[in-house]
Amino acid sequence: MSATRIRVSGDSPYDVVVGEGVLGDLPGLVGEGARTVAVIHPATLPEITRPVCESLAEAGYDVVELPVPDGEQAKSVEVAAGLWSALGRYGVTRSDAVVGVGGGATTDLAGFVAATWLRGVRTVLVPTTLLGMVDAAVGGKNGIDTPEGKNLVGTIVAPAGVLCDLRTLATLPKADYVAGLAEVIKGGFIADPTILRLVEADPEGATRPDGEHTRELIERKIRIKADVVGADLREAGLREILNYGHTLAHAIERHEHYEMRHGEAVAIGMTYAAELSRLSGRADLVERTRAVLTSVGLPVGYRADAWPRLREHMRLDKKNRGAKQRFVVLDELARPARLEDPSEALLEAAYKEIAR
């Protein structure tokens, strides 16, 4: 099957290329003016990174490999500073490029480092996980974590392109693949109910990279994000809907010291958001939310005793404005809305519904 190109519009439009064997597009995205290409990748992914580097070397670029820790451990000021130093040592100039290869944490980091080195160098992202393909690598958000929270330091700069080689998904542990499904399912609730119907029709197939509907699910979710960020790159309004379930999810991740998979936290966060929607008199999609998430093996509850600490973490959220907290909820299926400054009683009542 040929590659699919999904356009992300805006001031700096680019394509997300989805298919098998799409690395041939990489040299063209790097650009003719580049001499050196820095490839940022997890140290644990040498087999996946090798063909990326070979493709660039064959095209005549000087390739510099910059391995980083795996997962959220890479998204620190210390790791970013080390990469800046490396870019300086290797003489990476404004006409050169950075390529980020790996999961969502790595592409977040690579995009941030590229956007801040020399006030911005060209970036191409090669996500290798389901989460990276359908969410993290698309949209131009780049960031690192601080002790106070996730992604609180970052940039919004569009990449030159995103290459999603579906063959890399076969290398993922099943738990990581399933965790990525949370972001796909989120797309079904906020914008495209066909996603939900495809998962509900074959939950077991949805958990496999070779499932009957895998490619369609991935492309549908990428199109949702492309449409949203093309209309609202800097999260002035519409883009906030992509944070459905993320306010509690980010609090849980921080509470877990980032040892819980992002998608697992998002699944719990979506269940909480569904309860908030129901208890505030909006859509009642709690039963369907729980059913579709549990059908693929995702969690829908969290520890009862964690609420006081989670509530503290939730106060530092990017959607908040001043002292007012804002949550994304659903007026009905595929009709997201904002719940502004909800009462403490409502927030706690919703949490009690998912506590275990």
Check the CA dihedral 12-17-23-25 and report its sign: negative
Query: Is 141 marked as binding a ligand?
Result: yes
Q: Which of 186, 250, 261, 313 is catalytic?
A: 250
Q: Which of 41, 122, 141, 261 is catalytic?
A: 141
Q: How far is CA 115 from CA 151, 161, 177, 182, in A?
A: 15, 14, 28, 28
Q: Which of 41, 122, 183, 186 is catalytic?
A: 183
Residue 47 annotated among the catalytic residues of the structure = no
Residue 262 annotated among the catalytic residues of the structure = yes
Q: Which of 220, 254, 262, 290 is catalytic?
A: 262
Query: Is 104 marked as binding a ligand?
Result: yes
Query: Is 269 marked as binding a ligand?
Result: no
Query: Is 319 marked as binding a ligand?
Result: no
Query: Is 221 marked as binding a ligand?
Result: no
Residue 141 annotated among the catalytic residues of the structure = yes
What is the rounded distance in angstroms from the CA atom of residue 285 to the CA atom of residue 283? 6
Query: Is 183 marked as binding a ligand?
Result: yes
Query: Is 255 marked as binding a ligand?
Result: no
Q: Which of 122, 186, 221, 239 is catalytic?
A: 239
Closest CA to 185 of 134, 233, 232: 134
Query: Is 75 marked as binding a ligand?
Result: yes
Q: Which of 142, 186, 220, 243 is catalytic?
A: 243
Residue 243 annotated among the catalytic residues of the structure = yes
Residue 352 annotated among the catalytic residues of the structure = no
Residue 239 annotated among the catalytic residues of the structure = yes
Q: How far is CA 11 from CA 110, 138, 224, 230, 233, in A?
A: 21, 15, 18, 9, 9
Residue 288 annotated among the catalytic residues of the structure = no
Query: Is 271 marked as binding a ligand?
Result: no
Task: State the chain's maximal CA–CA distance in angstroms.
Answer: 62
Closest CA to 194 of 185, 204, 203: 185
Query: Is 325 marked as binding a ligand?
Result: no
Q: Which of 186, 220, 225, 313 is catalytic?
A: 225
Query: Is 289 marked as binding a ligand?
Result: no
What is the rounded distance in angstroms from the CA atom of residue 132 to the CA atom of residue 225? 12
Q: Which of 122, 186, 246, 278 is catalytic?
A: 246
Residue 50 annotated among the catalytic residues of the structure = no
Query: Is 324 marked as binding a ligand?
Result: no
Query: Is 214 marked as binding a ligand?
Result: no
Query: Is 169 marked as binding a ligand?
Result: yes
Q: Which residues pair with 87 in a beta bridge?
A: none
Q: 3-state DSSP call for residue 18?
A: strand
Residue 119 annotated among the catalytic residues of the structure = yes
Query: Is 70 marked as binding a ligand?
Result: yes
Residue 5 annotated among the catalytic residues of the structure = no
- CA angle, 249 as apex, 320 and 15 as ends, to 5°? 85
Q: Which of 119, 257, 321, 356 is catalytic?
A: 119
What is the rounded distance in angstroms from the CA atom of residue 82 to the CA atom of residue 260? 25
Q: Give the up-direction half-sphere exposure of residue 159: CA atoms within 13 A in the CB hemisphere.
A: 34
Residue stretches of the annotated binding site for Zn(2+): 183, 246, 262
Annotated binding site for NAD(+), which residues?
70-75, 104-108, 128-129, 141, 150, 168-171
- Binding site, by residue number, is 70-75, 104-108, 128-129, 141, 150, 168-171, 183, 246, 262
> Could you list the active site residues?
119, 141, 183, 225, 235, 239, 243, 246, 250, 262
